[in-house]
Structure 1
Amino acid sequence: MPAPAQQPGLRIALVFPGQGAQHPRMAAGLYGHDEVFTQTMDEAFALLGEDGRRTRAEWLAAEPSPAFDDVTVSQPLLYAVNHALGRMVLGWGVRPAALLGHSVGELTAATLAGVLAFPDGIRLMRARIEQFAKTPPGGMLAVAAGVEEVADLLGGDVHLAALNAPRQLLLAGERAALDRAAAVLRERGLVCRDALARQAFHSPVVDGAVEESMADWRAVPLGPPRLPVYSAYTRAVLTAEQARDPRFWARQAADTVYFAPALDRLLADHDCVLVEAGPGNSLSALARRHVRVVRGPSEVAPLLPDRPRGDAADRAAVAAARERIAALAAPAVAAAPAGSR
């Protein structure tokens, strides 16, 4: 099938979701079907060592176990699935103009940009399982509000974990404090719900685990990015100096994620197709409300369905996304599936 005509000037930006986007069998319809995706996932499970078999079983199970949203399962799986999807897209011949990740998604972006090697990233994930599993029971709360509407609740036991859009926040804290905050917010008529997390990422609750992880980060070779990475922590393009700083990466698990300002900067710099390379459509939903997508010229093209819809739906979504990418941005990318078994 010939590639449709290109819309001039439109580039590709890959975006990678973080904690809360995970779901059982995310992208599993590509496993055993797309060669690059399958090889990358198998590499991840092998690198996870004794945890690999359990992680694979959790991923492919029809029903999630109680541990699925815990750091011991969700973090290594998200990192592996995001990375496998990213490598699949690069295998189509796409060279992104930019990479942007949310939370652990930024680690995926850095890996694809060559800041660190995938085996080192998996080793850091293995260490994170033990380090962060020991943090106090906590979680994250998604709130449809602006920062000013929750400001009086922040700073003690509840913290701003992420600014995802002007009126879309994540709060984090230990479980009891977060439940009290949720009750207050609902009394104010604000919509809030628990995110899929059992640790209080992006808050001081995990500071101890961050400090424990510092030695692991210092042991990992870090280099300058070979592709532009827009950081949701600096709200700007990642510099070579930041990329080589172990503390910058270790602190990400405790620091606030500023996804909305980072997306603003990316779309101010590039007219592009935002390709969400990860489970769910959470970042695509945020991007679709951005003025440069609503009014154009930028577009959104998630790789996967918005929620679990079965293996065939995964494959159909990827094929549709690939065809759309070919139509909008990259005539060199064939619309027909490749690397399938």
Structure 2
Amino acid sequence: MEYRSTRGVHPRAMTRPQHRSLVVMFPGTGAQHARMAAGLHGREPVFTEAVDAVLDLLGPEGGAARADWLSDAPTEPMDADTRAAPLLFAVDYAMGRLIESWGIRVSAYLGHSMGEFAAAALAGVFRLEDAVRLLWERVRLQRTTPAGGMLAVAAAERELTGYLGDGVVVGAVNAPRHTVLSGPEGPLRAVADALAADGRTYRRLPSRTPYHSPALAPLVPATRGLLATMPLRAPRTPLFSAYTTLPLRAAEAVSPAFWAVQPTAPVLFWPTLERVLGERDRLLVEAGPMQSLTVLARGHPAVRAGRSAVVPTLPPRALGPEADLRSVRAARQEVLARSGALEAVRP
């Protein structure tokens, strides 16, 4: 029996499927953009139900976020915490549910920052209502911390030590030459000026909060207390943590301290991806907007060599409702084909 992928293959090319284990990846803060996945709302029932379940738990705040998400003229910008946090979580979570509905067993989850939190809810570590409660408490507390942000720099972590200090730290290691710096607004602007003067390539991420830096230390004790009231559980599906680079252990999953410190801890996405792809051949599917993790994963030797593969589910930017639908449906076909679930029929 022969099979054929639906993307990037000549219509008459026939190949046998590589039965790679499916790993679903979830992007974090910085991946959000206006009307991300909005074209699926009301048209993909599983997605719609999951997004609405998240936003309904937030009451009027969730309703306002949904209205801005679906509007061409939102009242709040997408990089505001009251929009970015709940909507990115909702889209990540809903895309995860949609992929699950395709009937292929998920072998593991891998999330980046907020994406790990969404993955934990899908894996059963958090009840959805508790995850949303914790998310909104963090949003509330972030309003009391100094303004700041993050810079994505085209450089290795070791090259940036001279730019660190005054609250600016490495917030994420995304690839061998893709490092995120995070910190308070004033010092971060000074770092941006220094990077520009030195001819380094960087961009400001769409966030007003210095995630994964000491600036968010005040969130830790308050959220640890809240987490202590929640019934945390070991994941029912393996979850690779981008904070430890390892599969989440049961003791970590049920530890309030483990989850409470995440806003201040660096995201080690690339070392974690190396572990995921080093274990076996994988089919990576990005469940979220922007295709940022897809771009990173395509640079990994295992993907470049064809041993593993990566499939985005959403367009890289807002291209309209029909583009959202086309992208998701093409991704479904490709995932099913690559997993051997679809038999190609020769024309």
TM class by smaller structure: over 0.9
Residue number in structure 1 paired with 2:180: 170
Q: Partner of 1:313 in structure 2?
A: 323
Change beyond 3 A, Cα 1:284–1:133: same
Correspondence 1:79 to 2:113: no
Task: Give matches, 1:65-104, under 5 Å.
Answer: 65-104=75-114
Deviation at 1:270, TM superposition (A): 2.7
SS at match of 1:331: coil
Q: Does 1:211 align with 2:221?
A: yes
Aligned-pair identity in percent equals 42
Question: What's the TM-score once normalised by structure 2's chain length?
Answer: 0.92
SS of the equivalent of 1:193 reads strand
Residue matched to 1:192: 202
Q: Contact conserved, 1:139 with 1:172, CA < 8 A, in 2? A: yes
2:162 corresponds to:
152
Which is worse superposed, 277-286 or 155-164?
155-164
SS where residue 222 of structure 2 aligns?
helix
Q: Which residue of 2 aligns with 1:279?
A: 289
* Equivalent residue runs for 1:246-285 within 5 Å: 246-285=256-295
**Aligned pair 1:117/2:132, yes or no?**
no
Q: Deviations over 1:80-126 (max 9, x none)?
A: 11000100110111221110000010011111111111111111122
TM-score by length of 1: 0.94
Deviates more, 1:165-174 or 1:4-13: 4-13
Coordinate RMSD, CA, aligned: 1.7
Q: Deviations over 1:224-268 (max 9, x none)?
A: 111111110001111111111111111111100000000000001
Q: 1:142 to 1:63 in 2, by over 3 A?
A: farther
- Does structure 2 retain, via aligned residues, the 8 Å contact 1:232–1:258? yes
Whole-angstrom distance in 2 between the partners of 1:333 and 1:120: 41
- Greater than 3 Å deviation, 4+ residue runs: 2-6, 63-67
Show structure 1 runs of 5+ residues with no match.
Answer: 335-341
Q: How do 1:315-330 and structure 2 match up within 5 A?
A: 315-330=325-340
Looking at structure 1, the residues matched to 112 and 101 of structure 2 have their Cα atoms a distance apart, in angstroms, of 23
CA distance in structure 2 between the partners assigned to 1:333 and 1:71 by the alignment: 45
Tell me the SS of whatever aligns to 1:173.
strand
Could you tell which deviates more after superposition, 288-297 or 121-130?
A: 121-130
User: Deviation per CA, 1:252-305, whole angstroms, max 9, x where unpaired?
Assistant: 111000000000000011311110000111000000010000012111100001
Matched with 1:23 is 33
Give distance in 2, aligned partners of 1:330 and 1:114. Answer: 28
Aligned to 1:337: none
Q: What CA distance in whole angstroms lies between the structure 2 residues aligned with 1:67 and 1:210?
A: 27
Distance 1:147 1:133 in 2: 29
Report the Cα distance in structure 1 between the residues aligned to 2:240 and 2:117, rounded to whole angstroms.
11
State the match for 1:338 in structure 2.
Answer: none
Query: Cα distance 1:3–1:88, how it changes in 2: closer, same or farther (>3 A)?
Result: farther
Distance 1:203 1:114 in 2: 27
Partner Cα distance (1:134, 1:3) in 2? 55
Q: State the alpha-carbon separation in 1 of the partners of residues 340 and 165 from structure 2.
A: 46
Give ranges in structure 2 of 5+ residues lacking alignment. Answer: 5-14
Matching residue of 2:54:
44
- CA deviations 1:120-177 (Å, max 9, x no partner) are 1111122122111211010001100111211012243211000000110110111110
Given that residues 152 and 205 in structure 2 are in contact (C-alpha distance below 8 angstroms), is that contact kept between their aligned partners in structure 1? yes
Q: How many residues are matched? A: 333
Q: Choose which of 117, 131, 135 in structure 1 pairs with 2:145.
A: 135
Q: Which amino acid aligns with 1:128?
A: R
Q: Alignment partner of 1:237: what SS?
A: coil
Q: Which amino acid aligns with 1:140?
A: M
Task: Tell whether the 8 Å contact from 2:19 to 2:338 is kept in structure 1 after alignment.
Answer: no
1:53 is matched with: 63
Match of 1:293 among 296, 300, 303: 303
The DSSP-based 3-state class of the residue aligned with 2:19 is: coil
